[in-house]
Amino acid sequence: MIAGVVGLGAGLAVAELAAGLLSGAPSPVVAVGQTVIDGAPPALKDWAISNLGTANKPVLLAGTVIVLVAIASVAGVLAVGGRRRHAITIAGLIGVVGLLAVLSRPTSSPGHVVPTIVGTAVTMGVLWWLPTRLVPIAPVEVDRIDAEPVGPMGLDRRGFFRGSAAIGVGAAAVGGLGRLLQARSAIGDERATLLLPGPGEPATLPADAEIGVDGLTTFVTPNDDFFRIDTAFTVPQVSTDDWRLRIHGMVDREIELSFADLLDRPQIERYITISCVSNEVGGGLVGTARWQGVRLADVLRDAGVDPAAEQLVSRSIDGWTCGTPVEAATDGRDALLAIAMNGEPLPDRHGYPVRMVVPGLFGYVSATKWVTELELTTWDAFDAYWVPRGWAERGPVKTMTRIDRPRVGSSHGDGVVDIGGVAWAVHRGVSAVEIRLDDGPWVECELGGVPSDDTWRQWHHRWDATPGDHVVEARAVDGSGEVQPSEPRPPAPDGAQGYHRVRFTVNA
Ligand X SMILES: Nc1nc2c(c(=O)[nH]1)N[C@H]1C(S)=C(S)[C@@H](COP(=O)(O)O)O[C@H]1N2
Residue among 231, 234, 258, 452 that touches ligand X (CB under 6 A): 231
Please state the closest distance from residue 362 (CB atom) to Mo ion, in A.
Answer: 6
Q: Report whether 142 contacts 150 (CB < 8 A).
A: yes
Nearer to ligand X, 427 or 460 (CB): 427
320 binds ligand X (CB under 6 A): yes
351 binds Mo ion (CB under 5 A): no
Q: Report whether 126 contacts 3 (CB < 8 A).
A: yes
CB atoms within 10 A of CB 219: 23
What are the backbone dihedrals phi and psi of residue 353, each rounded to the nearest 5 degrees, phi first?
Answer: -95, -15
401 binds ligand X (CB under 6 A): no
Nearer to Mo ion, 208 or 494 (CB): 494
Binding segment (CB under 6 A) for ligand X, from list 173-181, 210-218, 227-235, 392-400: 227-235
Q: List the one residue out of 305, 366, 302, 365 whose CA is nearest residue 338.
A: 366
Residue among 86, 157, 228, 394 that touches ligand X (CB under 6 A): 228
Residues 240, 232: Cα–Cα separation, whole Å: 19
Within positions 10 to 49, which residues make up the interface with ligand X, using CB under 6 A? none
What are the backbone dihedrals phi and psi of residue 505, each rounded to the nearest 5 degrees, phi first?
Answer: -125, 140
User: Cis ω on the peptide bond leading into residue 490 (within 30° of 0)?
Assistant: no
Q: List the one residue out of 47, 42, 48 whose CA is nearest residue 389.
A: 42
Beta bridge partners of 471: 503
Please state the closest distance from residue 73 (CB atom) to ligand X, in A.
Answer: 34
500 binds ligand X (CB under 6 A): no
What are the backbone dihedrals phi and psi of residue 275, each rounded to the nearest 5 degrees, phi first?
Answer: -145, 160
- Residues contacting residue 93 through CB under 8 Å, at least 6 positions apart: none
Nearer to ligand X, 119 or 351 (CB): 351
Please state the closest distance from residue 363 (CB atom) to Mo ion, in A.
Answer: 4
459 binds ligand X (CB under 6 A): no
What are the backbone dihedrals phi and psi of residue 439, each rounded to the nearest 5 degrees, phi first?
Answer: 60, 20
364 binds Mo ion (CB under 5 A): yes
Within positions 278 to 317, which residues make up the interface with ligand X, using CB under 6 A? 316
Q: List the one residue out of 340, 491, 334 whose CA is nearest residue 426.
A: 334
The partner in contact with residue 271, picked from ligand X, Mo ion, none with C-beta cut-offs of 5 to 8 angstroms by kind, is: none
Please state the closest distance from residue 236 (CB atom) to ligand X, in A.
Answer: 7
Residues 366, 364: Cα–Cα separation, whole Å: 6
Q: Which residue is nearest to ligand X (CB)?
A: 363
The 3-state secondary structure of 98-155 reads HHHHHHHCCCCCHHHHHHHHHHHHHHHHHHHHHHHHCEECCCCCCCCCCCCCCCCCCE
Total interface residues for ligand X by CB under 6 A: 17
Binding segment (CB under 5 A) for Mo ion, from list 104-112, 116-124, 223-231, 462-470: 223-231
Residues 424, 464: Cα–Cα separation, whole Å: 26
The partner in contact with residue 350, picked from Mo ion, ligand X, none with C-beta cut-offs of 5 to 8 angstroms by kind, is: ligand X
Site string for ligand X, 361-400 (x = CB under 6 A): --xx--xxxx------------------------------
DSSP H or E segment with residue 28 = helix 28-39
Please state the closest distance from residue 226 (CB atom) to ligand X, in A.
Answer: 6
The partner in contact with residue 368, picked from ligand X, Mo ion, none with C-beta cut-offs of 5 to 8 angstroms by kind, is: ligand X
The partner in contact with residue 231, picked from ligand X, Mo ion, none with C-beta cut-offs of 5 to 8 angstroms by kind, is: ligand X
Please state the closest distance from residue 487 (CB atom) to Mo ion, in A.
Answer: 22
SS3 of residue 423 by DSSP: strand
Please state the closest distance from residue 463 (CB atom) to Mo ion, in A.
Answer: 34
The partner in contact with residue 10, picked from ligand X, Mo ion, none with C-beta cut-offs of 5 to 8 angstroms by kind, is: none
276 binds Mo ion (CB under 5 A): yes
- Residues contacting residue 314 through CB under 8 Å, at least 6 positions apart: 321, 322, 324, 356, 368, 371, 373, 374, 375
Burial class (CB within 10 angstroms; exposed 0-12, middle 13-18, buried 19+) of 271: buried
Please state the closest distance from residue 368 (CB atom) to ligand X, in A.
Answer: 5
Applying CB under 5 A, the residues found at the interface with Mo ion are 229, 276, 363-364
Applying CB under 6 A, the residues found at the interface with ligand X are 226-232, 276, 316, 320, 350, 363-364, 367-370
